[in-house]
Amino acid sequence: MKISGWLGLIFAVALLSAGCQSIPPISAATQKNPASVSTNAAELDGKWHSVEISPSPDLPKIHTWQKFNPVWWLENDDDPIPPAWYLPDDPHRATKWRFRNPFHNFNFYVIGVADKKIVRSGRYPEKISNPNGGWNFAVSRRKIILLPFISYQRGKFEFYFGWRTRGNFGIKFNLSSANENQEPRPSIEVK
């Protein structure tokens, strides 16, 4: 690698670190004056803050050896069986379900950190997009690793790139028609 390549890498790390380092949220028990600190999430919207995100308790056990298996990368350990709403009358629904979201495990658990506890910092760290439209920047931190996220939403256009709210990696570029009459998918009750 040339010297200029190293300078670019150092610049990128410095840029990501400059405005993105924050400390984990402090519990009310360890604060000197807990009454002066706002715990209302609505008051924090739009202000830079951090939230601690833990993996789901229903998450199957992920072993390190699985992360080195390229066949496992193509699977979906979170939803291996298609839900009832997905192509209910299609005899090939299980096969189509596997092709619907390839590389799920890779995005969530190999390059993603959805199975680890992280701290996510930003103006809207609990959300993918800025609820007011426009840009949303966030950084997820796992120990000393900083994982950036950027999104933009305006009208029918939506874009994001980076590590999302659970620590999984994702890319989206969507131009959609805002159809007011479109029915949402039925909600699935998880027990």
| pLDDT value of position 62 | 87
Distance CA 115, CA 133 (A): 29
Listed in sequence order, the DSSP H helices in 27-179 are: 41-44, 64-67, 70-73, 93-100, 104-105
The token duo for 136 is 């949303």
Please identify which residue in the block is written with the tokens 């096969």: 95
Instruction: Divide the 191 residues of the chain into consecutive groups of 10 and give the mean pLDDT of each group.
Output: 60 50 41 41 76 88 90 86 90 87 89 92 91 92 94 92 93 76 51 43
164-182 core/surface letters (b: 16 or more CB in 10 A; e: else) = bbbbbbbeeeeeeeeeeee
pLDDT attached to residue 8: 64
- Residue spans of the domains in the chain: they are 45-175
> For position 168, what pLDDT does the model report?
92
For residues 89 and 74, give the distance between their C-alpha atoms in angstroms, rounded to a whole number: 25
**pLDDT score for 61:** 86
